[in-house]
Amino acid sequence: MGDKRIELLSTSTERCFDPYLRCALNGAAQTVLGVKGCGTLTHGPQGCEYLVYDAFGHQDCDYTEVETLCTKLCENEIVHGGEDLLAHTILEAKELNIQALFVLTACGPEIVGDDIVSVCRDLQPQVPFKLVPIESAGFKGSEYDGIDIALDVILRKLVKDSKRKISSSVCLIAPHANANPTWMGDLEWVKQILSQMGVQVVATLTYKSTLNEIENVASAETSLLLSHDAGKKAADYLSSEFGVEQICQGIPLPIGMTNTRRWIFDLGKRFEVQGIAKRLVAEGERMVVETYRRKGGYFFEVARFQRTPAAIVADATIGIPLVRFAIEELELKPELIALRSSRPDAREILEREVDDLGISPKIVYGTDVYKTKKSLEEISPEVVFGSNIERHAIEELWTPYIFEVVSPMRRFRVIDKAYFGYNGILNLLEVVQNEFADRWRSKEKRYKARW
């Protein structure tokens, strides 16, 4: 009996699931909160509304400018259905000064069969704003699935067909599906590069986007996906329905010298501004070298890391381009790559990168905290790129360096720090150098000045 119990415990332990990611409702909330001048109504228990509050911070929202509502379902509605309460809440909201109300569902209402689409359709004539129902129950997947669900509904419900295309224009997709806690810096760098190339951004899906911008997305000539974790379905839909060409496909996002150079050259070729692209690359690479030399980067010897075994635990957006950065900029040897998602297009990009770089690391797709810890124990890397979670996971291992580059992080950021582009290279090197110095700083003795 005792042996059987041990076997059962062992089996259940291997099957446990400790996710990095929140549920689909959180991802849908992140997406709709990126649309200005609109409201969000969560149809679910009050506890689920906290997922919406969490999304506030991720989208850098102003609490005084965003209207959020919740039906706050209790036991009676969960058992018998909450459509009447939903209708009552929508009608109470008709005095709000908003252009659209996004209605999101939590798990409970979808399990009992509440039909929010029918409720919104019936009430649309009675309210002055657009009702946009999004069936985003948490059990439908991770926050990345929620982002895809919300983007799909937004595009199908709000985008107007346009026969006229704006020359040299682009629609930016899913910049918020990014584990850089200040991903707004990445988005700003992309916009600056496009502006210098004379490319107009028609809309961003989504970050401080207006309803009018979203309605005119079909007039964009191209789309640019800014995530390897979500948004590909939206790009495919725009391509098939409105002929919006996808650009910079199949290559890592611009993190590190080589990835940034390749990404900018791809943009330059598409918009026929190769001369500008070459100038941007030359200026950017020179800036990185000169800045790092002047700021004392020579004190940090990259040779210390030469062929050092490393692990990268991150989302695909940061993790995939970080592989080449770790090898070329830091001379590390990645032996573990654990990604929080497992999208087919992201897999293809990573596998091409691994082949091109001539490495054969262990790759874990759709990792969770438990899988990551087991993989770290197996590989025993000396360097880990990850989050505060990995810092705790390696406490029992002899791992000298943990570089926190993705959420959740210990350090609070007020300024938006990019990882994309040339300033992004310096920001990442700054993280590495600070953590490197901190590792060897005495934790026991303190220097006392002698006057």
Q: How far lies 265's CA from each of 110, 250, 280, in Å?
A: 46, 14, 9
Q: What is the DSSP letter of 31?
A: H
pLDDT 10s digits, 297-338: 655 566 577 888 999 999 999 999 999 999 999 999 999 999
* Token output for 328: 């070329």
Q: What is the distance between the alpha carbons of residues 313 and 292, in angstroms, rounded to a whole number?
A: 26
Topology (CATH level 3) of domain 277-439: Rossmann fold (3.40.50)
Transcribe 236-250 into DSSP letters.
Answer: HHHHHHH--EEESTT
Transcribe 58-82 into DSSP letters.
Answer: HTT--TTT-EEEE----HHHHHH--
Contacts of 428 (CB under 8 A, 6+ apart): 255, 325, 405, 419
Sheet bearing 130-134, strands edge to edge: 67-70, 39-43, 100-105, 130-134
Q: Pick from 214, 249, 226, 283: which is nearest to 423 by CA?
A: 283
User: Is the model's pLDDT at 65 over the cut of 80?
Assistant: no
* Token output for 261: 């150079």
Beta-carbon count within 10 A of 168 CB:
16
Tell me the Cα Rg of the chain.
24
Residue 446 pLDDT grade (very low, low, confident, very high; cuts 50, 70, 90): low
User: Is the model's pLDDT at 41 over the cut of 50?
Assistant: yes
Q: What is the DSSP letter of 50?
A: H
At 451 the pLDDT is 45
Q: What is the distance between the alpha carbons of residues 187 and 207, in angstroms, rounded to a whole number?
A: 9
User: Is the model's pLDDT at 97 over the cut of 80?
Assistant: yes
Comparing 79 with 222, the larger pLDDT belongs to: 222
Q: What is the distance between the alpha carbons of residues 399 and 392, in angstroms, rounded to a whole number?
A: 11
CA 105 to chain centre: 22
Q: Pick from 92, 90, 40: which is nearest to 61 by CA?
A: 40
* Token output for 214: 């979203």
Tell me if 288 sits within 8 A of 429, measured CB to CB.
no
Q: Pick from 296, 258, 337: which is nearest to 436 by CA?
A: 296
Q: How far lies 8's CA from each of 3, 11, 368, in Å?
A: 9, 5, 21
Tell me if 321 sits within 8 A of 254, measured CB to CB.
yes
Q: What is the distance between the alpha carbons of residues 335 and 184, in angstroms, rounded to a whole number?
A: 30
CATH number (3.40.50.620, 3.40.50.1980, 3.40.30.10, 3.40.50.300) of 169-273 reads 3.40.50.1980
pLDDT 10s digits, 187-239: 999 999 999 999 999 999 999 999 999 999 999 999 999 999 999 999 999 99
User: Is the model's pLDDT at 15 over the cut of 70?
Assistant: no
Per CATH, 169-273 and 277-439 having the same topology is answered: yes
Q: What is the distance between the alpha carbons of residues 162 and 46, in angstroms, rounded to a whole number?
A: 40
Q: Pick from 333, 368, 370: which is nearest to 354 by CA?
A: 333
Mean pLDDT, residues 92-106 taken together: 92
Comparing 178 with 412, the larger pLDDT belongs to: 178
Q: What is the distance between the alpha carbons of residues 428 and 29, in angstroms, rounded to a whole number?
A: 29
Q: Pick from 420, 404, 53: which is nearest to 228 by CA?
A: 420
Q: How far lies 244's CA from each of 121, 168, 206, 220, 328, in Å?
A: 29, 12, 17, 6, 35
Bridge partners (DSSP) of residue 105 are 43
Which amino acid type is present at position 228? H
Beta-carbon count within 10 A of 283 CB:
11
Topology (CATH level 3) of domain 24-158: Rossmann fold (3.40.50)
At 163 the pLDDT is 78
CA 261 to chain centre: 22
Instruction: Tell me the residue ranges of DSSP E strands in 86-240.
Output: 100-105, 130-134, 169-173, 200-205, 222-225
Domain ranges of the chain: 24-158, 169-273, 277-439
User: Is the model's pLDDT at 96 over the cut of 80?
Assistant: yes
pLDDT 10s digits, 104-141: 999 989 998 999 999 999 999 999 999 999 999 999 99
At 53 the pLDDT is 83
pLDDT 10s digits, 362-374: 999 999 999 999 9
SS3 category, 35? strand
Which amino acid type is present at position 380? S
Q: What is the distance between the alpha carbons of residues 277 and 279, in angstroms, rounded to a whole number?
A: 5
Residues 175, 172, 65: CA angle, nearest 5 degrees: 65
